[in-house]
């Protein structure tokens, strides 16, 4: 049914309209609770399923438990599609840009050198911990700045309503998330923007901007990256701006790497000493938490993205499409 809906523009517009109606209410309602309601919901659903799966092994309970599992899965799937899933098929942001040229490595190199200099300049004004690594001083100020920047998005890219409700929540699964490679996620049932509070400071502000883009209604991952970029790149909050500039630089280098690894190495060598300390801390964090869970979630995330007509999680090309055409 929903696959058929995904091919019909009027139906997609209807689901977009429904999302606009509910998102502010959901964000306001669940922001009143200090912990992640969405995570609690997932935990309850998990134990509900485990309980009834175990009961399926008992002959006298098999049919009743199987029916309940079937009903729960279908209700969950229906709710997901209504509240979120159909937004993957809305008009791509790229089609809203005046230029729609394919990204080029040559253009990416020009931008990489520009963002290298921006990163260096912004990094000089930031606080550091005892190890000389960038340290966030006010997470709440970053969240408020992101909400403020939402209302400044170009109208031709986002005509979406801006609830301006602070519904950022540290995930209850934070310790586990560090081992999965997941930085944050949006909960479509509660409209909460979840994040891993243990992330390095270079990751966290842009992760918050990315998840807030989902809250606005941008479902595709690379579009949420692009909108997160717009939220942070001109911000007066230097912590948010640096995290955004740094993410953009890394994305550009990732796009260039296969074509010209020597250029990437030369840019990395030109990092300021402070940026090199930040990069080494990121690498240490990632290496410390690599393992089976990281591989498993990378695999399942790729399947999820591709099932929703998106590129896999390790590609940069659509973000490059958006960035390079916007910069023109």
- Alpha helical stretches, state H, 183-313: 204-216, 221-233, 238-256, 261-269, 273-288, 292-307
Neighbouring C-alpha atoms within 13 Å toward the C-beta of 156: 7
In the prediction, which pLDDT does 292 show?
A: 53
The pTM of this model reads 0.89
**Helix or strand or coil: residue 186?**
strand
In the prediction, which pLDDT does 7 show?
A: 61
In the prediction, which pLDDT does 307 show?
A: 46
* Token output for 276: 């090199």
In the prediction, which pLDDT does 176 show?
A: 87
Q: What is the pLDDT along the chain (328 residues), one digit of tens a residue?
A: 665 655 677 888 888 988 988 898 999 999 999 999 999 999 999 999 998 888 888 777 778 888 889 999 999 888 888 889 899 999 999 999 988 889 999 999 999 999 999 999 999 999 999 999 999 999 999 999 999 999 999 998 988 999 999 999 999 998 888 888 889 999 999 999 999 999 999 999 999 999 999 999 999 999 999 999 999 999 999 999 999 999 999 999 999 999 999 999 999 999 999 999 999 999 999 888 886 545 544 444 454 444 455 454 445 589 999 999 998 7
* Token output for 200: 């390095």
Tell how far CA 185 is from the center of its chain: 6
Neighbouring C-alpha atoms within 13 Å toward the C-beta of 147: 15
In the prediction, which pLDDT does 25 show?
A: 92
**What does the alpha-carbon distance between residue 187 and residue 129 come to, in Å, rounded to a whole number?**
32
Q: Which long-range contacts (CB under 8 A, 24 or more apart) does 111-118 make?
A: 111/248, 111/252, 111/323, 111/324, 111/327, 112/249, 112/252, 112/253, 112/256, 112/263, 112/267, 113/267, 115/245, 115/248, 115/249, 115/252, 116/249, 116/267, 116/270, 116/271, 118/245
**What does the alpha-carbon distance between residue 225 and residue 211 come to, in Å, rounded to a whole number?**
9
In the prediction, which pLDDT does 99 show?
A: 82
In the prediction, which pLDDT does 328 show?
A: 76
In the prediction, which pLDDT does 324 show?
A: 94
In the prediction, which pLDDT does 210 show?
A: 97
* Plot region of 189 (φ>0 → left; ψ -120 to 50 → alpha; else → beta): alpha
**What does the alpha-carbon distance between residue 140 and residue 137 come to, in Å, rounded to a whole number?**
9
Task: For the chain, state the CA radius of gyration.
Answer: 21
- Phi, psi dihedrals of residue 197, rounded to the nearest 5°: -70, -10
| Concatenated DSSP letters of 137-172 | S-HHHHHHHHHHHHTTS-TTT----------EEE-T
Laid out side by side, the sheet with 184-187 consists of 168-170, 192-195, 184-187
**What does the alpha-carbon distance between residue 261 and residue 76 come to, in Å, rounded to a whole number?**
45
**What does the alpha-carbon distance between residue 311 and residue 305 come to, in Å, rounded to a whole number?**
6
In the prediction, which pLDDT does 312 show?
A: 43
**Helix or strand or coil: residue 280?**
helix
Tell how far CA 18 is from the center of its chain: 22
In the prediction, which pLDDT does 168 show?
A: 97
DSSP tag of 90: S
| Domain boundaries defined on the chain | 2-89, 93-327
List of residues 6+ apart from 195 with CB closer than 8 A:
168, 169, 170, 171, 183, 184, 204, 207, 208, 211
Q: For residue 199, what are the CA distances in angstroms to 16, 31, 217?
A: 32, 22, 24
C-beta atoms surrounding 10 within 10 Å? 7
């Amino acid at each position: 049914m929903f696959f058929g809906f995904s091919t019909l523009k009027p139906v997609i517009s209807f689901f977009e309209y429904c999302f606009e109606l509910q998102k502010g209410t959901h964000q306001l309602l669940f922001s009143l609770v200090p912990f992640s309601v969405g995570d609690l919901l997932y935990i309850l659903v998990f134990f509900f399923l485990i309980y009834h799966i175990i009961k399926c092994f008992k002959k006298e309970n098999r049919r009743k438990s199987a029916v309940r599992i079937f009903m729960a899965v279908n209700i969950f799937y229906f709710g997901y599609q209504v509240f979120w899933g159909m937004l993957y098929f809305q008009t791509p942001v790229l089609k809203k840009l005046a230029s729609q040229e394919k990204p080029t490595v040559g253009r990416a190199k020009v931008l990489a050198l520009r963002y290298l200099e921006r990163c260096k300049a912004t990094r000089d004004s930031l606080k550091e911990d005892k190890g000389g690594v960038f340290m966030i001083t006010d997470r709440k100020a970053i969240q408020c700045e992101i909400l403020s920047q939402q209302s400044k998005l170009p109208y031709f890219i986002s005509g979406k309503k801006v609830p301006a409700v602070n519904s950022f929540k540290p995930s209850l699964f934070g310790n586990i998330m560090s081992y999965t490679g997941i930085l944050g996620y949006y909960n479509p049932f509660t409209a909460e923007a979840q994040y891993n509070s243990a992330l390095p400071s270079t990751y966290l502000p842009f992760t918050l901007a990315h998840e807030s883009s989902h809250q606005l209604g941008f479902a595709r991952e690379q579009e949420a990256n692009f909108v997160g970029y717009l939220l942070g790149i001109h911000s007066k909050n230097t912590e948010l701006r640096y995290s955004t500039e740094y993410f953009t630089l890394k994305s550009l280098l990732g796009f260039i790497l296969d074509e010209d690894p020597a250029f990437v190495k030369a840019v990395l060598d030109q990092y300021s000493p402070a940026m090199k300390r930040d990069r080494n801390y990121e690498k240490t964090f990632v290496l410390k938490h690599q393992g089976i869970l990281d591989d498993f979630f990378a695999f399942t995330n790729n399947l999820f993205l591709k099932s929703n007509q998106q590129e896999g999680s390790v590609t940069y090309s659509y973000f490059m499409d958006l960035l390079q055409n916007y910069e023109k």
